[in-house]
Amino acid sequence: MTFSLRALAFAFAAVVATAHADEQHATKAKPGLSIKTLDGKTFELSAQYGRWVIVNFWATWCSPCIKEMPDISAYVSAHAKNVSAIGIAWEDTERDEIDAFVKKHPVSYPLAQGDVYNPLPDFEVPRNLPVTYVIAPDGSVARKFTGPITANDLDKVVAASMAK
């Protein structure tokens, strides 16, 4: 089995981040999130209440992440009145590498770089990528996906929540 150096570095960073945390925690039922985006703005999850929000953890070296980003982007664009998203680069990479990646793979939603050594307090540390949370308009987690998602997956989550 062959591992890329980046994948090995990510795995090590995930172990260090988990060991660094007081204890492993699950994602909160109504997580909070305040993160600085690559364009210098702040994305506040609480400011999105009333809309569906896609919180997507990804990495530049993650093939399934790269494959799903255009789908998420198209979904957000097609449902702009009711859906927003934030993409969080979950890797220990220099900012210029992230910026170069984004130039090659632009999306319609804001992106941020997470700190693998200081995990987000209301989300569990991603062990595999991509990881996507679909947050309902009331701020609760409607669904967590591990692995790539499609527009069809997102439609199913929204439809299932609406049927309740």
Q: Can you give the pLDDT at residue 163?
A: 63
Q: Can you give the pLDDT at residue 17?
A: 43
Where along the chain do its domains lie? 5-21+33-163
Determine contact, residues 52/83, Cβ cutoff 8 Å.
Answer: yes
**Using CA atoms in the order 52, 113, 65, 18, what is the torsion angle rounded to 10 degrees?**
-100
- Select the CATH number that applies to the domain covering 5-21+33-163 from these four: 3.40.30.10, 3.40.50.720, 3.40.50.1580, 3.30.2090.10: 3.40.30.10
SS3 10: helix
Q: Can you give the pLDDT at residue 28?
A: 87
Could you give the CA distance from residue 90 to residue 98 in angstroms, rounded to a whole number?
11
Average pLDDT, consecutive stretches of 10 residues, N- to C-terminus, the chain (164 residues): 51 45 65 96 96 97 96 95 96 94 96 94 94 96 95 89 66
What token pair was written down for 49? 């209440």
Among 91, 122, 119, residue whose Cα is nearest residue 11: 91
Could you give the CA distance from residue 110 to residue 95 in angstroms, rounded to a whole number?
15
Q: What is the pTM of this model?
A: 0.84
β-bridge mates for residue 57, sequence order:
88, 131
